[in-house]
Amino acid sequence: MPATVVVGTQWGDEGKGKLTDLLAERAQVVVRYQGGHNAGHTIVVAGESFALQLIPSGVLYPSVVPVIGNGVVVDPQVLLAELGALEDRGVDCSRLRVSGSAHLIMPYHQELDALAERRLGRNKLGTTKRGIGPAYADKASRIGLRVQDLLDPKIFRQKLELVLKEKNQVLAKVYNRLPLSADEISERYLRQYAPRLAPLVADTVAIVHDALDAGQEVLLEGAQATFLDLDHGTYPFVTSSNPVAGGACTGAGVGPRHITRVIGVAKAYLTRVGSGPFPTELTGALGDELVERGHEYGTNTGRRRRTGWFDAVMARQAVRLNSLTEIALTKLDVLDERESIRVCVAYEHDGVRYEHLPYHQSVLHQATPLYEELPGWQADTTGASSLADLPPPARAYVERLASLAGVPIHLVGVGPGREQFVRLGG
Site stretch for ligand GDP (CB under 6 A), options 157-165, 192-200, 326-334, 391-399 = 326-334
**For residues 227 and 241, what is the distance between their CA atoms, to the nearest angstrom?**
11
Contact set for ligand IMO, span 178-197 (CB under 6 A): none
Q: Verify binding: residue 131, Mg ion, rule CB under 5 A.
A: no
302 CB-contact burial (10 Å; exposed 0-12 / middle 13-18 / buried 19+): exposed
- The binder of ligand IMO chosen from 65, 228, 254, 282 (CB under 6 A): 228
**239/381 with CB nearer ligand IMO:** 239
Contact set for Mg ion, span 8-67 (CB under 5 A): 13, 40
Query: Is 13 a residue of the active site?
Result: yes
CB of 370 to ligand IMO, least distance (A): 26
User: Which residues neighbour 154 within 8 Å (Cβ) at sequence distance 6 or greater?
Assistant: none
CB of 120 to Mg ion, least distance (A): 23
**168/300 with CB nearer ligand IMO:** 300
CB of 173 to Mg ion, least distance (A): 36
206 CB-contact burial (10 Å; exposed 0-12 / middle 13-18 / buried 19+): exposed
Site stretch for ligand GDP (CB under 6 A), options 39-47, 123-131, 231-239, 394-402 = 39-47
Contact set for Mg ion, span 283-302 (CB under 5 A): 299
The one-letter amino acid at 96 = L
Residue nearest to ligand IMO (CB): 274
Among 41, 103, 109, 258, the one annotated catalytic: 41
Binding mask 237-256 for ligand IMO (x = CB under 6 A): x-xx----------------
Binding mask 284-313 for ligand GDP (x = CB under 6 A): ---------------x--------------
Among 13, 75, 138, 229, the one annotated catalytic: 13
CB of 325 to Mg ion, least distance (A): 23
**For residues 386 and 421, what is the distance between their CA atoms, to the nearest angstrom?**
8
Binding mask 268-287 for ligand IMO (x = CB under 6 A): -----xx-------------
CB of 202 to Mg ion, least distance (A): 26
**345/394 with CB nearer ligand GDP:** 394
Query: Is 41 a residue of the active site?
Result: yes
333 touches which of ligand IMO, ligand GDP, Mg ion, none (CB within 5 to 8 A by kind)?
A: ligand GDP
Distances (CA, A) of 404 to 185, 355, 372, 387: 52, 10, 11, 20
| Interacting residue ranges for ligand GDP, rule: CB under 6 A | 8, 12-18, 39-42, 44, 299, 330-331, 333-334, 413-416
Q: Which active-site residues does the annotation give?
A: 13, 41
| Interacting residue ranges for ligand IMO, rule: CB under 6 A | 8, 11-13, 38-41, 125-128, 130, 132-133, 223-225, 228, 237, 239-240, 273-274
| Interacting residue ranges for Mg ion, rule: CB under 5 A | 13, 40, 299
